[in-house]
Amino acid sequence: MAKQMTKSKTTNNSSRNFFFWVVGLVVICIIGLVLLTKLTGKDNVEFDFDYKNQPYVGKSDAPVNIVEFGDYKCPVCKNFTENVYPETIKKLVDTGKVKFYFFHYPFINKDSTRAALFSEAVYGELGNDAFWKFHELLYSKQPEDKKYELIDVYTDSFLQKTLKEIVSDKDVQKVETAIKENRYANALNKDQEYVEKLKIDSTPTFFINGKKFTGQTYDDLIKTVNNAAKGK
Please list the pLDDT of the chain residue by residue as tens digits (232 residues): 333 434 444 444 544 444 444 334 333 333 333 333 333 344 457 899 999 999 999 999 999 999 999 999 999 999 999 999 998 898 899 999 999 999 999 999 999 999 999 999 999 999 999 999 999 999 999 988 877 778 899 999 999 999 999 999 999 999 999 999 999 999 999 999 999 999 999 999 999 999 999 998 889 999 999 999 998 7
User: Residue 166, Cβ neighbours under 10 Å: how many?
Assistant: 16
Domain boundaries, the chain: 2-40, 56-229
Backbone angles phi, psi at 201, to 5 degrees: -130, 15
Report how far residue 66's alpha carbon sits from residue 84's, in angstroms, rounded to the nearest whole number: 14
Contact 128, 55 (CB under 8 A): yes
What is the assigned CATH class of domain 56-229?
alpha beta
pTM of the model: 0.80
